[in-house]
Structures are given as C-alpha cells and as structure tokens.
C-alpha cells in the first residue's frame, strides 16, 4: 500500500510562492501517475497537476504558467511549485498516486495540506 505524506502548506500573500512536497513510501517510478489535487470548502476535489512515470505533465487551465509539478526520484518525492498565488488558490491540497497493482489501478491519497492565500 502506497503511503503519501504532504508538507509545505501555509499562509501566503497574493502574488507569493509556496512549494508543496509529497514523500512517497516506495520507488516513485513504480507509480504510473503522481498528482496534486485540491479541494476548497463546499467544492468538489479538482485536479491541479499530474506527472506520469514517463515524465508527461498535465495542468489545470487555472494554474498553467504558475504551477509546476516535478519529482526527485532519489528522494521519492513529488513537488508542486506554486508561484503568483491568488486568493482563489486557497484550498486543501492533496497528493495522489495512481498505480497498477494486483491486476487493477488503485488510487492512494495523502492527508492533505492547507494552502491559504490572502488578498
């Protein structure tokens, strides 16, 4: 079972930056897709960015050009660099792992880290 631990959230002013980290309990390249999602109060969880084991990235339109997903294979860690933050980026951010194991795809989630952007 994959375990994910996020860190790096906090309070930042609009226009500022934060970097989220997600430490993965196993070899990160064994996971098909790593991702970051977010959920604001009263809203559904939404995709922010994904990174496949092959290195392909995908971003929500709302964060393109401002956020960047990356990984450090040696540290089994995925990052989300967030620049030019806006109040509407305020959410709980979740790390996810989408992995093929035991003949099916399974999804794993971290506990979430709060990001608050003040205007």
Q: For the residues of 77-90, what is the DSSP string, one character each?
A: EEEEEE-S--GGG-
Tens-place pLDDT, residues 17-53: 999 999 999 999 999 999 999 999 999 999 999 999 9
Q: What is the pLDDT of residue 105?
A: 92
- Mean pLDDT along residues 56-67: 98
Q: Is the pLDDT of residue 102 over 90?
A: no
What are the residues whose beta carbons fall under 8 Å from the beta carbon of 26, sequence distance 6 or more?
2, 76
- Burial degree of 88 (CB within 10 A; 0-12, 13-18, 19+): exposed
In the numeric block, which tokens belong to residue 31?
């996971």
Q: What is the pLDDT of residue 62?
A: 97
């Amino acid at each position: 079972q994959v375990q994910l631990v996020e860190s790096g959230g906090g309070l930042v002013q609009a226009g500022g930056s934060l970097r989220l980290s997600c430490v993965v309990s196993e070899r990160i390249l064994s996971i098909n897709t790593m991702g970051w999602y977010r959920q604001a109060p009263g809203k559904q969880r939404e995709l922010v960015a994904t990174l496949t084991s092959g290195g392909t990235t995908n971003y929500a339109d709302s964060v393109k050009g401002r956020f960047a997903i990356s990984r450090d294979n040696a540290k089994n860690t995925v990052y989300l660099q967030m620049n030019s933050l806006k109040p509407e980026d305020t959410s709980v951010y979740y790390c996810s792992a989408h992995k093929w194991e035991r003949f099916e795809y399974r999804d794993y989630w971290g506990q979430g880290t709060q990001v608050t952007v003040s205007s």
